[in-house]
Amino acid sequence: LPFSIPSLTQILYVWLSVTSGVNLVNSLLAGVISANVAIDGVLCVGALFLLFQTLKKIDYDSLEDIDQKSLACQAGKWALEEEIPVTFEYNDKNYEVATFAGGCFWGTELHYQRIPGVVATCVGYTQGSIDMPKYEQVCSGTTGHTEGIQMIYDPAVCSYSRLVTRLLDIINPTLLNRVGNDSGTQYRHGIYTHSKEQAETATEIIDQRQKKFI
């Protein structure tokens, strides 16, 4: 689908704004002024405001940049360009790009931030059917997205094989769409390679790890 089905949260906001709005109009037309009128007014405006927040697009330029050890701003630009580079030059030094999914992206990001050689990280949604989805849309399970983490790293300090190995160490690859207590398609695992070399490295490590489960 070129669009996603509204989330339960969005449906709730629409229902609340319509219901309270109708009650407000009926009260005003009947000339009734009471505390309920004020409550309906607040509920209507509040629900419309929250609904707008779920529909508002992300301003990537406002996100933190590499100076704050965040890849968010740059990754957002790559997403808009629909092209992620294999390498990225910053301050006259070449770094490589890696993308993974390992359950809740905040926890996964923290694991990678602790690895020497990982220069900057960011989290977001990937592998879905619509652009720039909201949290509520992803949680509805209708967009096909998964929670992912993207990073740039210094290959002279940290190898890609170490990054892949770390992912496999923090997940249980035998569980489908689940990491720890988090379950759902947005928590599925993923290794999203950006070059032939990365794909070969990931495949080799997965094959080695697979032997433990045979």
Active-site position among 104, 122, 139, 158 = 104
The amino acid present at 136, given as its one-letter code, is E
How far does the chain reach from its first CA to its final CA, in angstroms?
38
CA distance 140 to 158: 37
Sign of CA dihedral 130, 202, 73, 85: negative
* Contact between 198 and 160 (Cβ < 8 Å): yes
Bridge partners, 153 (sequence order)? 96, 118
Based on the residue annotation, tell me whether 73 is a catalytic residue of this protein: no
DSSP E strands, 35-188: 87-90, 93-102, 118-126, 146-153, 178-179, 182-183
Catalytic residues: 104
